[in-house]
Amino acid sequence: MNLNHLSVFIEIAKHRTMVNASRSLGIPNSTVGRQLSQLEKELGVRLFFRNTRHINLTQDGKELLERTVHLIEELNEVENNFFHTKKELSGRINVSIPNEYGSLWFATCIAKFAKSYPLVSISCSTSMASVDPISEEMDLSIIYHRGIPNDSSLVMQNLATIPSVIVGSKNIIEKHGLPTDITELKKLPCISTWHALRANPWHFIDINGDSVSHKIKSVYRADSTNLIISAAIEGVGFAIIPRLFCKQYIDQNVLVEIDIGLQPAPLHVAAVLPDRVINSRTKYFLETIKKTMIEILNT
């Protein structure tokens, strides 16, 4: 069995179109089609149902994919690791990072990685909301999350855990009073994310260390840390914000840290991968990100 043809088959199965598979592999669409036909002829089976609009795996195709995808990925990993000792990394990396603070944190390290490995083509998108690396065809997605992730099947590596605090401005405290427990806080105007971080309810850690959530009165929603901080400073509502992001405003007495007897769930910064087996360029890129996060948390 020709391994190049098998790699083409796996890329088509991943992307569900020959056009996207050809882009991922960096070869003409006609070559993709020809190599798939050669593989089907060699095996004596049809691997895809295809027409002008759709392409789907046959049962034989599903069985072949299940039995070979990890073998090819492991071979690619061996090849990439070997050649990394002989020459520079090459290929494409598609990555998604959080906007605002994520862009500030990682801008320099990504630029340095690009300079160090000029044969690696990097495509980078920014989003506060979590990006699914499989459906969006990302090699690596850096995300924020609080509490227990909704999808337990995600291949996730935690990069950092950042404590969060409840804050409010002096004028909102003067207007509504200082909440002392969750029951009082739930009656007051609050600020939350919109789509990101599972929005409303708010997530906390109770005295037993268990994750709990409470629905709050959200009067302002934004998928932007900067917008949330600004709204909290203006007295729009109370907010949960990572301490790292708002420490300067607490130190300046612009925002007041509030204790309600429940600890807000920390903000986790995590790397989400499409598979447990990753190629060398993504591996070294992820190591660069990890080192950067360690430096940030230690400053």
Q: Is 130 in the same domain as 273?
A: yes
CA–CA dist 168, 250 (Å, integer): 10
Number of C-beta neighbours around residue 9 at 10 A: 26
- pLDDT at residue number 151: 64
- pLDDT at residue number 189: 97
Q: Is 197 in the same domain as 54?
A: no
Q: Is 261 in the same domain as 273?
A: no
Locate 195 and state its tokens: 């789509």
Q: Is residue 196 part of a domain?
A: yes
Q: Is residue 157 part of a domain?
A: no
CA 57 to chain CA centroid, Å, is 28
Q: Is residue 210 part of a domain?
A: yes
Q: Is residue 158 part of a domain?
A: no
Q: Is residue 79 part of a domain?
A: yes
Q: Is 186 in the same domain as 142?
A: no
Rg (CA), the chain: 24
Assess whether the previous peptide bond of 201 is cis (omega < 30° from 0). yes
CA distances from 290 to 160, 285, 299 (A): 9, 9, 15
Q: Is 48 in the same domain as 189?
A: no
Domain total of the chain:
3
| The total number of residues written for the chain in this structure | 299
CA–CA dist 248, 18 (Å, integer): 51
**Which of 68, 84, 100 is the last residue before a domain boundary?**
84
CA–CA dist 147, 97 (Å, integer): 20
Q: Is 201 in the same domain as 76?
A: no
CATH of the domain at 70: 1.10.10.10
Domain carrying residue 188: 164-265
Q: Is residue 35 part of a domain?
A: yes
Q: Is 80 in the same domain as 100?
A: no
Q: Is 95 in the same domain as 25?
A: no
Q: Which residues of the chain have pLDDT under 70?
A: 24, 26, 51-53, 73, 76-88, 129-130, 134-135, 148-153, 197-200
Q: Is 116 in the same domain as 50?
A: no
Q: Is 172 in the same domain as 258?
A: yes
CATH of the domain at 96: 3.40.190.10
- pLDDT at residue number 226: 93
Q: Is 238 in the same domain as 112?
A: no
- pLDDT at residue number 85: 47
Q: Is residue 60 part of a domain?
A: yes
CA–CA dist 81, 283 (Å, integer): 10
Q: Is 205 in the same domain as 286?
A: no
Q: Is residue 219 part of a domain?
A: yes
CATH of the domain at 233: 3.40.190.290
Residue type, 165: V
